[in-house]
Structure 1
Amino acid sequence: MLLATCSVLHAETTITIATVNNGDMIRMQKLADDFTSKNPDIKLDWVTLEENVLRQRVTTDIATKGGQYDVMTIGNYEAPIWAERGWLLPLNDLGADYDVDDLLPSIRSALTYDGTLYAAPFYGESAMVMYRTDLFKKAGLEMPKEPTWTFIGDAARKITDKDNEIYGICLRGKAGWGENMALLTAMADSFGAKWFDMNWQPQLDSQAWKDTLTFYVDLMKDAGPVGASSNGFNENLALFQSGKCGMWIDATVAASFVTNPKESQVADEVGFALAPDNGLGKRTNWLWSWNLAIPAGTKKEEAAKKFIAWATSKDYLKMVAEKEGWANVPPGTRTSLYENPKYKEAAPFAQMTLESINSADPMNPTVDKVPYVGAQFVAIPEFQSIGTAVGQQFSAALAGSISVDQALENSQRFAEREMKKAGYIK
């Protein structure tokens, strides 16, 4: 009788990761050989998408149980909503050395539903002012730590030099609930505006929204770049790095990219300030994180969790520091990072980033009382479609194809229709 000999081979598991085309995520892909060398039985398949496209694809896939992805990059907007619907797997077992208690409390809280973590933060952010110190000095201006929108508007106009393609300010104009509406919602909060009153009636036809949008459109017309209605985070980052923006008010995560001499022509001439206010007690800052989560439909949960634990760990931050320098590690997720003297020395923006994150108040986002939470979004499922539709109207107003009044009127009608359809109002 012949005895057959068998060799047992580990079956290779391929996990598909949907992620955003931001700098930190691109870097993660480049460093992923570290993960696959430690986990040779796991292969990574990347799907890298522009921000608006990513949101649309992952939302469609998880809502229809399409099963295309094993790991999704989602925001703190989606995490609790999708967890409540049973669309995400819990992440309460990422390993003994993961140290979930080291996550910044505000970030961890935003990713927790019913006491359980459902997404792990890759980086966290608020918003702040990044500005060219050389242009301010030349114009005889001094940036306050806590500027007002009035100061920002005056300064932007003074440092604009359109003949030399230097624009006083770059702000998001690209339509999308997480693109231009992230900025404009936070800005509206500082102007005393709100999306809905306590009865969920839309408020986009209010004077406060008109003041916000008029100020924004006028400022960008006077001091913004050509084609601003097409510019989102990445486009404005490129403009700032090439020396074409005097100021940029956007995500704190951009700080390492604008101060990196390998990427930025103005790296040695960048200063930072808190996001502006309008004298009403609310700043134009937000609380956001890009996070890795596992859709409930995956059949590769164990491999997906291993990857998430690797990508959002303390060891990952150390690896980035060793290869790219401490200033370039993904910010805004861990307390220990902001206690690390090497990071504080290497990152001149570290303290301002932490202050901005800590001062964001998504539980009380507006001047008046409202029935919702979320500093740059409204944490209800319907906001994704409402915010995107309104973003298209506001982008059209910025482009000059419709008036501010028309944009607000169209937005109000759309929001009323959607809120009636969803049963919030009659």
Structure 2
Amino acid sequence: MKGWRGLAVGAAALSVAVAGCGTSSDNAGGDSGEPKTLTVWLMDGSAPTTLTDALNKEFQDSNAGVTVKYEVQKWNGIQEKLTTALTSNNPPDVIELGNTQTAKFAAEETLYDLSGDASDLNGDQWLGGLKDSLTWDGKQYGMPFYAANRTVIYRTDLFEAAGIAAAPTSRDEWVAAIEKLKAANAADPDFQALYLPGQSWYTLLSFIWDEGGDVAQPQGSAWAGALDTPQAKAGVDFYKKLVDVSGTKAPKDADEATPQQMEVFGTGKVGMMIGLPWELAGAVKANPDLESKTAAFPIPSKTAGKAAPVFLGGSNLAIPAGSQNSDLAKAYLKLLSSKKYQDMLAEGGSVPGTSTDTQKLATNPLGKALAESAPNGKVTPTTPAWAAVEAGQNPLKDMLTAYLTGAKSLDDATSGANASLSKTLAG
């Protein structure tokens, strides 16, 4: 998934990645003792070394003659490297893929069909949103690895000073909290109750989904935009309401990376931001005083007491179709899907992709917010064409800027974006 760099809960940091790839050698368990090499590629920062060291050692100890060749891949140029590796005569055996990348490689028939192996990989515990991202043409092309999602990260001290007794559990309570923060800090012209960039479209997805809408819908074997529906328009309109009521000074023509919103939050002049765990870690690194003054709550739904659906960013694990060690690769994935290693992911701050048990994650406010949000997570349309939406002139970003600046009405902004999105998805 585009945009992931790391994950941290409180002071503990764990990088999160969302793409990957590996090399090969076929005999599950290696019972014959014949020397074999299982090549595993994971992304830089994808999993802590404590996990991968223990995993690789246990797998080798349980499979005579097998050596795990563990290789960490860099982000720069990974798309091209994946494409080359998956079409070679000697592809990796286990690879990590971003959840928005999986459909592309599945459609190209470069991934092994694991539909018949899901039960061995704890398929009944797969995180729903990531499972959807693995599905192509009715088949499963991998196993969920881990995920994380956006929560509302806030200053506990500023909430207390403003008389906000508890974290909001509905949109109305959220707006009321913004108003209280503004009133309590009215003397500071630099204060922002909520920092919300104009093009934070992953956040927008939560509001659209919460209204019962979507950005696109399948039409036969293709997809078409759904941004001009009443439900999608309501989500866009609520986004504008938050921007207007918060008085955010964030640019309306840029996303959360320009400037980096964690840097803005780190100035101490912001009450809330809608962000990822690693963004909180970045803010705390820049301003250590924030570590004891921050917490998080799920993005609230319009329905009181519920969390809004969230974009579930994360990674999947897959086996290249050309792997010469597919049985060994399945055994490796089976071990990684076990509770032991899923708990290790949770302890590091990730939402485990193949375990419904989030107890290990919910040991602090940020982890608790992640755990509460993740089961309601969703992903972008599972189609290879979606990559062009994110890589190109993203129509959702253009739509938000046009509406927030008044350049277009809600109807015109959503209609134009919908036409552009449908064209891109049609290839």
**TM-score, normalising length from structure 1?**
0.64
The match for 1:33 among 49, 53, 65 is 53
| 1:305-324 superposed matches below 5 A | 305=330, 307-319=332-344
Cα-to-partner distance string for 1:162-198 (whole Å, 9 max, x where unaligned): 9697643344667xxxxx4322222333467643589
Residue 119, structure 1, aligned to residue 139, structure 2:
no
Gap change, CA 1:93 and 1:191, over 3 Å in 2: closer
Percentage of identical aligned residues: 21
**Are positions 1:141 and 2:171 aligned together?**
no
Match of 1:45 among 57, 71, 76: 71
- The answer to whether the 8 A contact 2:146-2:345 is kept is no
Contact 2:252 2:404 in 1 (8 A): no
The one of 240, 263, 267 equivalent to 2:291 is 267
CA contact (8 A) 2:193 2:271 kept: yes
Q: SS of the counterpart of 1:337?
A: coil
In structure 1, list runs of 5 or more residues that go unmatched: 1-7, 175-179, 361-374
SS for the counterpart of 1:41 is: strand
Q: Which amino acid aligns with 1:283?
A: A
Counterpart position of 2:319: 294
**In the superposition, relative to structure 1, how do residues 349 and 238 fare at CA in structure 2: closer, same or farther (>3 Å)?**
same
1:249-264 matches, within 5 Å, as 249-251=274-276
Match 1:248 to one of 253, 269, 273: 273
Q: Deviations over 1:330-364 (max 9, x none)?
A: 324354633x5x665x334555434323345xxxx
Residue 383 of structure 2 corresponds to which residue in structure 1? 380
User: Structure 1 residues 105, 408: closer, same or farther in 2, change over 3 A?
Assistant: closer
- Report the counterpart of residue 185 of structure 1 in structure 2: 205
Amino acid at match of 1:124: A
- CA pair 167-376 structure 1, distance change in 2 beyond 3 A: farther
Q: How many Å apart are 1:79 and its aligned residue? A: 4.1
Contact 1:397–1:404 (8 Å) recurs in 2: no
Partner of 2:175: 150
Counterpart contact for 2:136–2:382, Cα < 8 Å = no
Among 99, 111, 128, the alignment partner of 2:151 is 128
Instruction: Quote how far apart the aligned CAs of 1:239 are.
Output: 5.4
Superimposed CA distance per residue, residues 251-300 of structure 1 (whole angstroms, 9 cap, x where no aligned partner): 5x669959999996433333333313346999353344422222324445
1:87 corresponds in structure 2 to 110
- Report the AA paired with residue 313 of structure 1: S
Deviation string, structure 1 residues 284-335 (Cα, Å, up to 9, x no partner): 53344422222324445456545544544322245568xxxx4x34324354
- The question of whether the paired residues in 2 share the 8 Å contact of 1:122 and 1:291 is answered with yes
Query: Equivalences for 1:204-215 in 2 at 5 Å?
Result: 204=227, 208=234, 211-212=237-238, 214-215=240-241
Distance 1:335 1:293 in 2: 17
Counterpart code for 1:295? P
Paired residues in the alignment total 380
What is the match of residue 363 of structure 1? none
Alignment partners' CA distance in 2, 1:256 and 1:13: 36
CA distance in 2, matches of 1:59, 1:121: 18
